[in-house]
Structure 1
Amino acid sequence: MNRRVAREKAIQTLFQLDNLDLSIEEAIAFIVKEESNHFYEHLVRGTMQHREEIDAALTENLENWSLDRLPKIERTILRLAVFELQYSEEAPERVIMNEAIELSKTFGDEKSGRFVNGVLSKFTTNK
């Protein structure tokens, strides 16, 4: 599983965890039928471990939106990207931003990419 696929599967797993009453292990087993990989599990477990801090940071950086009002897929993509930007050193900021935008184009609607880019740009300029 390459990193793009790992991120896609992490989004699917995190989306399930946000919407269903599953343990992390159950959600991982549901999404990844074959053997998992380290990067994918790092993304899922890390995002869930830091979810409260990530949500607080997102809330601070959302203009005219509350976290609860965000479409679920954008919220999930933002959580994953903020985890990578703030807690992981596995990829450069530019790569994380591009991947989040591409994921939002894949899983969201035509406006998702611009929205995700706008929110995440606040995390890269605030450092």
Structure 2
Amino acid sequence: MKRHEAREKALQTLFQLEGTELTMAEAIEHVMNGENDNFYTLLVEGTYSNMADIDDKLKGHLENWSLERLPKIERTILRMAVFELAYMEDAPSRVIMNEAIELSKTFGDEKSSRFVNGVLSKFTDELEN
């Protein structure tokens, strides 16, 4: 599975986990249908298990927004991207940002990609300094 597809499936899994009573195993099975991918698993488990820290990191980069007010899809995309940027070092930040922007174009509304780009730009600027 290519990384873009793994990110799409991870997004779908994490989206299902928020606000439902599904277990991680149920959400993974629903999205993956028995298929296995290491990058996908790392994204889902890493984002989910570090969500409190990721949310703290995100809150400092949201202007005039609270994390709770964000649309669920944008919040999920941002969490996943921040996990990759802050916890993984195997992809350049530009690639991660571009992937998040593409996901927001596919799954969000017409304003999602600009919003995601703005938040992640601030976050990556802080990480690089």
Paired position in structure 2 for 1:71: 71
Q: How does 1:35-114 map to 2 (within 5 A)?
A: 35-114=35-114
Give distance in 1, aligned partners of 2:73 and 2:99: 14
Deviations 1:20-62 (A, max 9, x none): 1111111100100142100000000000111000001111111
Structure 1 runs, 4 residues or longer, greater than 3 Å off? none
TM-score (normalised: structure 1): 0.97
**Residue 91 of structure 1: CA displacement?**
1.0
SS at 1:19 equivalent: coil
Give distance in 1, aligned partners of 2:71 and 2:21: 19
Gaps of 5+ in 1: none
TM-score (normalised: structure 2): 0.96
SS at 1:73 equivalent: helix
Give distance in 1, aligned partners of 2:79 and 2:16: 13
The Cα RMSD (Å) is 0.7
Gaps of 5+ in 2: none
**Residue 13 of structure 1: CA displacement?**
0.2
Give distance in 2, aligned partners of 1:34 and 1:6: 14
